[in-house]
Structure 1
Amino acid sequence: MPHNGDRTAQASRRSGARHSNNDGLIPVLARRVREVEAKAGTGKKLGPTNRTKFQVIALLMREERARAKSDAALSDAARAEQLKRLDGIATILAKTAARDTSLIALLESTSTPSPAAQKMRRDWLLESGAELEPDDLIITTEVPKPKQDVLLSPELAQKQVMPQSVRARQLSNPFLAPDFALAQQSSPSPRRRLDSWELLGPLFKSFEYGSGGQAASMELPPAPKIDRYSPPGMELMKHQAKFVESVRLGHRSFLLADEPGLGKTAQSVLAASVAGAYPLLAVVPNVVKMNWAREVQRWTPHRRATVIHGDGEGLDAFADVVIVNYEVLDRHLSWLSELGFRGMVVDEAHFIKNLHSQRSRYVLGLADAIRHSVSDPLLMALTGTPLINDIDDFRAIWQFLGWIDGTKPTAELMSRLDETELTPADPGFYTAARGAVIDMGIVRRKKIDVAADLPSRRVVDLPVELDDELGRSVKAAERELAARLVQRYRRAFAAGVGESFAGDDDERREHLIRIVAHAELEESKGQKTGENVFTMVRKIGQAKASLAADYAAQLARSVGKVVFFAKHIDVMDQAEEAFASRELRSVSIRGDQTAIARQREIDAFNNDPGVSVAVCSLTAAGVGLNLQAASNVVLAELSWTAAEQTQAIDRVHRIGQEEPVTAWRIIAAQTIDAKIAELIDSKQSLALRALDGVDIEPGSADSVQLDALISLLRDAL
C-alpha cells in the first residue's frame, strides 16, 4: 500500500474519475461511519471487523480532506461544503472513540493498515466510482523476515553471549541431524474455498460471543487405567493423565489454559517426556524458573534441567531441558535459535499478549526458528488467564502455536475451517469456527470440575476506616481530584464539547463525563507529581498497610501461616517491620531477588514451622508459585485486574491444599478503594464467556482506572 506521502497525490489523480458532483466517496464514508456508530451504541466493545472499518474511515477521510483542499477545480463554496461534510464524519469518529477508547490509536495517521484494511479501502474507493491507480489495486502483506533477521537485529547482535558449555556442545556435534519431514511440509498449500475471506476477525468474534454453555476445551482421550507416566511415588490426577495421553497419541500444539493450581507445569514436563521433545526450551517468569527445574527433576528424574542465569554462567548446554526467564532472553537468542530444540513451552503465556513488545517478538522468533528446523515440534502455551483485557489477547498465543501467521490462519487451521463447509456469511460459521480453533489444542479445565477434593475458596472484604493523619490526607486527595474533574467538566461543557452528540441531556452528560475522565487518565499516565488516580491508590495502600499487617498478624497467631500480598515496596516494608515488632518471622518474595534467593524464601515458608508470614509482591509473586502451606491470604492492596487478583489467591488454592482457602481483601471504606474493588469483580465476564462457556452479559471494556474516574466524577457532579 502506498505511503502516506503518496496518498494525496494519488487521491488528486483519482479526482478526475469521480462523479461529476465530486461526492462519490463521502456518501460511502457517511454510510459506513453510521454503521460503526450504531454498533458502538450497543455498549459493547467493537469487534475486529468494525475496528477495521473505523480505521479505514479515518484513513480515507484524511485523504479526501487533503484532496478537497488541494483540488483547484473546486469552487470555494463546493470546497467548504465538502469539508463541512467531512467534519461531520470526523465528529462521529471522535464520539465513537470516546465510547471505546481503545479506538483512539486507530485515528493516528501513523497507524499501519492491515491487509484487511487495505482491501476494504480499495473496495470502498471502487464503490465510490473512483478509477484507481495500479498501486491502489495492490494489497501488500508484510513479508516474513528470514529467521536470522527476526532474531538478530544489529542491536540484538551486540548483546549476544555464548556460554562456554554451549560452545562445547557445538564442537562435540557441529551438525544438527536434518529433519527430512520438513521438505514435505514446504510444498505449497492447495487453494482453498476460504482463501479470499478475512478470517481472523470472525475467529476472534466467535470466542467473544461466547458459546451458550460450551467450555473451550478440546476432546481429550480417556486417562489410561494404569499411570505409566509418573515416576515411583508420584501420581497424576485424571485430568493431567488425559492431557499427557493426548500428547502420546500425537497432538503437538496446546494452549493449556487450566485454572491456576491444576498442575500445568507437571503436565507439560511429562508431555515433553512422552513426545521425546528433547531438548526442550522453557521460557518462564523469573519468579518460577527454579521451581521449573525442580518439577523436571520430580516428574522426569531421568532427565537433566539447566537454568540460564545472567550471561549463562554455570549453564549445562547438554541438559535435556533449558529454562530461561523472559528478562534475559534477549542475550541468548543466537545460540538458543540454533541448538536444535524439538519442543518449546511458554509459561504464563499472557506475558506475550502484546505483539509489539520485545518479549513477544523474541518468543515468537524462537518458535519460528524451531518450526524451521524441526517438523511437528511440541509447542505449549501455559496460562490460567489467557484473556485479561481483550479477546485480541489470543493473537500472540495463537501465533506462537503456529495456528495463525499474523494475517490469516495457517494451513492446518484453514483445513479445519474448510471442512465446516461454511463461510463467515453463514449463520453457523461462528460456532463451527470456534470448535475448529478449540480442536487445534485449547485445553481448559476448572477446579470445580476436575478436583472435587480441592477445598473451597472464598473472598471476604474487610472494610477499614482510615481515621489517622495519613487517612485524612487520602480523603483530602480524593476530594482534590474530584474537584479538578468537575472543573474540567464545566470548562468542557461551557466550550460546547460534545454538543453534536446525538442523544438527550442525560446521554450527553454521560458522554462528556467519559471524555473528561479519559483525558484525566491519559494525562495521569505521564504525570510524575501531583494527585491523580495512581498516586491516590498508592496513598491508600500506604494508609492501609499497618491495618492490613495487624490483621495478618492476628491470623498468623490464631490459624497459622498467612500469605500477605501488596503492590508497592513501601507497603511490603511497613508490613515486614510490623511483623518483626510482633516477633513473627516472615519471608519476602520480591521482583528484585535472584531466582535462588527467592526459592530459598519459598522453601522456608512452606517447610519451616517457625516462619509465619510470606510477604509477597502482587506482580512478582502472583504467578507460578506454590504457597499452599497457608490457607489464608491477605490482599493489602488491590490489583487493577481481576486476573492478577485471582492469580495471587491461587498461589494458595491449588493441588496439595487440604484446607478451605480464604482471601481477605482490606478495603478502605468511603474512598475510591471500595469502588475499585467493585469494578474488579465486574471485569471477569470476558474469560467466563470466551473460555468457560458462561452465557453472561460482558462487562465494561474500559480499564478499572477509567471506570473509577468516571464514577468519581459522576458522584461529584
Structure 2
Amino acid sequence: MNLCYLDNTEVVVLFPYDAELIASIKDTIPQGNRRYDKSKQSWVVQLRKYGAINEQAIKALEGFLKAHDFKQHISVRNYLSDLREKLAEQDEKKREIYKESKASEAIVEVEGLGGELRPFQKAGVSYLSKRGRAMLGDEMGLGKTIQAIAAVVHSRAYPSLIICPVSLQLNWIREIEKWATGKRVSGEAEKDADFVVVPYSQLVKHEQLLKKGTNWKSLICDESHYLKNRKAQRTKAVRSIAKGIPHIFLLTGTPILNRPSEFITQLQILERLNELGGWKHFTERYCDAKQERFGLNINGATNLEELNKKLRNTCYIRRFKTDVLKELPDKQRTIIEVKINNRKEYETARKGVRQELALLKKKSRERTQEIMSELEELTAKEIKERWEELFPNDKIPKYNDKRKLKRGIEARLQRRETMVENSEGVLLVNRLKILAMQGKLDSAEEWIENFLESGEKLVVFCEHIEAQHKLFEKFAKNGCAILSSMDTAERQASVDKFQTNDKCRVIICSLGAGGVGFTMTAASNVLFVEMGWTPAMHDQAEDRTHRIGQENAVTAYYLLGTDTIDKDIYNLLETKRSVVSAASDGKEVEQGTMVRDLLDKLAGFDEQV
C-alpha cells in the first residue's frame, strides 16, 4: 500500500520497492526538497526550508500523490492546506521583497562604518541584511564592495570570509580597512581576523583550513561568475565551504538574465535553487532545456521576465546607473591596487635608480660649485666673458657689480642643474614606470575580463606600446584600438566601430593618441592601466566618455601596482589637480613639476616610490 504521513514538518512517502515510482518521485519533486531516509525506508519531502514555503514542491507533491493513488493521513491534508493559506502571506511578503530589490533608498543606520553610504547603497545593505543569502548584481561603479562590507558590519556577521580574483584582493583589504573601522583584516587564510580575504587561485589549496578552521558567520564571493562551472575545483570548494554559513553574498555585474544556466551553481551556493523549483524545473522553464545528440543543452533563455521577478522576490538585487543617476557625481575616480609579479626586479631597479639619481645630483652640484669657485678670482669684465661662454643665448648684463653678476650666474647654473636632472630623471622614473606596468599586466587582463562579463563597454588607456599591444592582442576578438602607429582615418574607424558595434566591447587606447579629440560615449567606464605626467592628460582622456551624449555617470578606474611609483604618481596628480582647480584658474601644471616632485621623493629615499 502507498502511504503518506506527517513527521513533524516533513512529509513521509512510503511505498514498496517500485522502480517506476522511484523514478517518478525523483523526476517530479525538486531535488533539494526530497531525500531517501534509510532508517524509515521511505522518501521524505520538505516543503518548507529556511522559513520559506516552496510552492513548486507543494504542487509537485500533490500531483505525485494523486497520480499514484497514495493514501494520505489527515495530518498531511491539514498540513498542505495550512501551507497553502500561509502561501498567501508569503506571496505578499515576496511582493515587498521585490519592491526592496528595486529600492533607491532605505532607512538603515550602520554603526561602526567608516563613511557615509548613498541612499541607494543603504537600500542594498538593507536588502542583503534582510535576505541573508543573496546576490548583489548592481551595475559597475555603484559600489558593490562597499555595500557588502556594510552588510557584514550591519549584521555583525564576523568572522567574514571574502573570496575574490587575485587582482582585487588588495582593493578589498583597502576598502575593509576604510569602511569597517577597528576591524582586523588579513589577506592570508591562516590568520585569525574579522575579515579574511582569499583569492580564488588559493581556494583549493586552503579548502580544508577554510572549511574547518573557522566558524564563519558570513561569506562574500566577488565576481561570482567565477563559480558558473559546476565541475571546476574552485566551485566545488566554495560549495563545500559555504554550507552552514548564515550570511552569503554573491557579487556580480553579469546580467543573470543573459545566461540563466550559468547562475545555477550560484543559486545552489545560496541554497536558493529549490525556491525556484529545483534544477529540473529551472533548466526546463528558464534555460530552454533540450535533449540533443550529445546530451542536454541548457544554454538557452526563456521566460526571462518571470525569472527576473522570481529572483528579485527571492534573493537578487540589481540597480543601474540610470536608476540612481541623481545620487552619483558626473564623474568619479576609483583606485584598484594590485600586486606586481616582478617584485624582485622592481626592487633592484628602485635601488639602482636612487643610486643613479644621487650620483647625478652630486655631479651637478660639484660642477656648479667648481664654476662659482673660479669666479671668485675674476674681475667683473672676466665674469661677463665667462657668462657669455656659459650662456651664449643669454643677454649679458650691463652692470659691473661682481656680487650681482655671480648671483645671476649661480641662479642660471641651478636652473640648468634642474633641467639636466629633470631630463635624466624622466628616464630614471620611466624605468620604474615600465617595470610597474609589466608587473601588473596580468592583473589588468584579469580585471578587464571580469569587467566585460558585465556586458558594458570599456575604454582602456595605456602609455607604453608594450602594454597597448599586449592588451589589444588579448582582446582583439571583441575590441578595437587607437594606437600611435595608426593614421587619423584608422583611429576614427576604430572609434566608429566602438560607438556603433555592440560586439566591440573594449577599445585599447594610447594615452597620447586616444586621449584627445575623440568621442567614446558608448562607454561610461574608463580604465587607466598606466598614467601620464599631468592632470590635464587624464582629464582629457576621461572626457572621451564624459561628453554630450553621455547618459550615465562616468567612472574612471586607476590600476596601481602596490608599493610602486604608481601610487606616488596618482597622489601627485590628485594634488596637482586640486591646485589647478582651486588656485590656478585652470592653468595647466607642467610635466616638469611632476618629475621634480617624484625625484625629490626618490632622493629622499621615500619608501613608497
The TM-score bracket by the shorter chain reads 0.3 to 0.5
TM-score, scaled to structure 1: 0.35
TM-score, scaled to structure 2: 0.41
Structure with greater proportional strand content: 2
Structure with greater contact order relative to length (CA < 8 Å, sep ≥ 6): 1
